[in-house]
Amino acid sequence: MKILLFEFCDNFGIQMVLKKVLKRMHRLRVSLQNDCMWGTFGKRSKVVRPMRIIGKRFIHIGSNSVIMHDARIEAVYLYGKEIFTPCIRIGDNVDIQQRVHITCAESITIGNNVSVLPDVLITDINHPYEDITIPPKIQSLKHDPVSIGDETIIGMGARILPGVRIGKHCCIGTNAVVTKDIPDYSLAVGIPAVVVRLRNRIIGMQENVLYGSFGYRSKIIKPMRILGKKNMFIGERVRILNGARMEAISMYHGQRLAPRLVIGNRTTIEQCCHIIAADELTIGGDCVFSAFVYIADCNHQYIPGTHINDTDLEIKKTKIGNGVFIGIGARILPGVTLGDGCVIGANAVVTHDIPPFSVAAGNPARVIKKFNFETNQWEKAE
């Protein structure tokens, strides 16, 4: 029939037009089949010669996405006598290359603009082995949702295991085995995968390259000024809010200095704080600094007849212990050591050491309370 049509069309010079019509009819037929068979199937998406696809009605594919040859995609809705309600969601503009294996019994979500390189495994299923009287393959499946954020790339041969959340704009290295969550803007490699580079989502730079060190899940939000990043060592889960001014001064009036500013894990520094280090300024872990706090280990000398900006710096080591709370507007001057667990009152000016587990207030600050571990109570200082 096609041959007769082509011969007939030759007489009218429209054979090329008929070819285009037949091609469009084929695409329409495939599109209608996909709409009926899949949960959803976006425009201009395609799955090229898959090895195996199970549970199409539980699989949702966005627009402009491509799944290359020999993919094995399984939405497991029945296993033995167990019934599941799986959901595989693949976003828009996703590129899944050859021989990728995706298997799901609960939920796997792949965001937009994700690239998955060849031979990757993504699964939310585990075969338990705890019961030694039953073969693992017939024990009840364990499942835990998996999600992969937008703009992420998964390297060749990587394995994404159940319960993992990979954040936005991450890079997972070749053959990495991801067993725990990966934060946004991270590079993770190894078995098991660990974050080796963290990209700060606010500043948009690779902080562990710019800083002396920059810990996991730490962030600095819209600082006023940061000087001498390579001499700053920031722990994990540190949060520094808007308007911070942090300076590690390595040169002053031609004099070379060796500053070191250390901030411990889980410390929170609220807005508009000012921290200056010219030698060694150490802030412990689990501290909380309220807004407008000033801390320094250096001061300008005062010499009659000489402009203050022309004098050398007077430098003294300053140390803040663990678990210290500093009230709004307080000033911690050079040479001061605050012991662990101290509380510094609002607008206090601290000019000398404060012992551990003390409350200090005033200008200049003095100790007004101490914690008595024998009575387990705060008591007025003598």
Instruction: Catalogue the active-site residues.
Output: 127
Give the three-state DSSP class for 3.
Answer: helix
Query: Nearest Cα to 123, choosing from 73, 169, 182?
Result: 73
Question: Is 147 in contact with 166 (CB distance < 8 Å)?
Answer: yes
Helix (H) or strand (E) holding 208, with range, is helix 207-210
Strands 325-326 and 288-289: parallel
Q: Would you call 10 helix, strand, or coil by DSSP?
A: helix
Q: Cβ distance 281 to 297 under 8 Å?
A: yes
Which uninterrupted H or E stretch holds 33? helix 15-37
**CA–CA distance, 274 with 291 (Å, rounded to integer):** 10
- Calculated CA dihedral for residues 210, 213, 215, 218, nearest 10 degrees: -40
Query: Across the strands, what pairs with 154?
Result: 116, 172
Strand 349-350 relative to strand 331-332, pairing = parallel
Is 133 exposed, middle or buried, given 0-12, 13-18 or 19+ CB atoms closer than 10 A?
exposed
Indicate the residue type of 98: Q
